[in-house]
Amino acid sequence: MVLDLTASSADITRAICDIPSVSGEEQALADAIEQAVTGLPHLEVIRHGNTVVARTDLGRPQRVAIAGHIDTVPIHDNLPVRDIEIDGEPFLWGRGTVDMKAGTAVQLKLAAELADPSIDITWMWYDNEEVAADLNGLGLLAAARPDLFEADFAILGEPSDGEVEGGCNGTLRAIVRTTGVRAHSARAWIGENAIHRAAPILARLAEYRAREVPVEGLLYRESLSAVRISGGVAGNVIPDACEVEVNYRFAPSKSAADAEAHVRAVLAGFDVEITDAAEGARPGLDAEIARRFVSAVGAEPRPKYGWTDVARFSALGIPAVNYGPGDPHLAHHDEERVPLAQIEAVERGLRAWLTSH
């Protein structure tokens, strides 16, 4: 399919949403994006797997990296995209409209049109954001071409309701285990029930009160939750093992080591295995370039509670924010939909900042 980048951002959203790109199946969309931006005289285009990078090199004193992922979660009877109205307001409905092809569409349109921006721009459209971190196209690009990540500021087009969401919380997952002794359930007193022994774990998590942590003027809310529990052998057997999977979302002022220490303290006395951890990202809104961006788009910064790839930029010392159309509560939802007015507003905001001298 040939993408027309002279079309409106809404029409580009329709077009790229209707190219299915579930994680691991992004090649057709990556090919279309590469074809659309190749040959534009103001852009150098680099392809790495199914990640496409397009850069200006105008000798500006500062550079911004603007990134968007091109994959989606699985389709569930929500393609092709449809135009709908809710209370008289026009929306685009369908998989990817929120997370995050509307944001990617805005980026593609501006990449094609802004031949003389006030700041050099590195556009990045990457694959496999919705799956395991070791497959993430942005992470693989950073490992292979760290030079492409040289920037003074970064924007990720994740859905933020058209507002600016600074940084993001970190996330940690752990498995908490209990053990027992198997026995026939008719003679339960002979065994020791590992599932029953998990009751204090669940009680501690149920009683846990989320902390609110101020970081650089934004208030991040933490959470510690049981997200899965497994155990049992058969309907007539006392179980000898139980596992509770726990997810801790922690403020970006904490390191992963701090988060691990906190989880182990809350669950002291139990066997805790940390299975995954990703640092958060400080908002970085005190940087001059970030302040100019916030002023230009006319947004009130707020915290990002979910983890996003802004953390990859933050780890490199690059302040980064989330800024894109779409209600994040509708990401991955079967009724995913984005207001056309929000797509247009984000395009205006980015264009105003990138062209202000």
Q: Which residues are catalytic?
A: 71, 129
Rounded-to-integer distance, Cα 343 and Cα 101, Å: 10
CA–CA dist 102, 112 (Å, integer): 16
Instruction: For residue 45, give every residue at least 6 positions away whose Cβ sits within 8 Å of its Cβ, in sequence order, or none.
Output: 34, 37, 38, 52, 53, 54
> Do β-strands 223-231 and 241-250 pair in parallel, antiparallel, or remain unpaired?
antiparallel
CB 180 within 8 A of CB 239: yes
What lies within 8 Å, CB to CB, of 17 at 6+ separation is 79, 80, 81, 92, 94, 95, 96, 97, 101
Pairing mode, strands 120-126 and 63-69: parallel
| C-alpha dihedral sign at 144, 26, 96, 33 | positive
**Widest distance between CA atoms in the chain:** 80
Closest Cα partner for 74 from 22, 114, 27?
22
224 neighbors 248 (Cβ within 8 angstroms): yes
Which among 309, 300, 294, 302 has a CA at the least distance from the CA of 349? Answer: 294
DSSP 8-state code for residue 303: E
Beta strands in the chain (DSSP E): 44-48, 51-55, 63-69, 82-86, 89-93, 120-126, 153-156, 164-166, 170-179, 183-184, 212-215, 218-221, 223-231, 237-238, 241-250, 271-278, 302-303, 320-323, 337-339
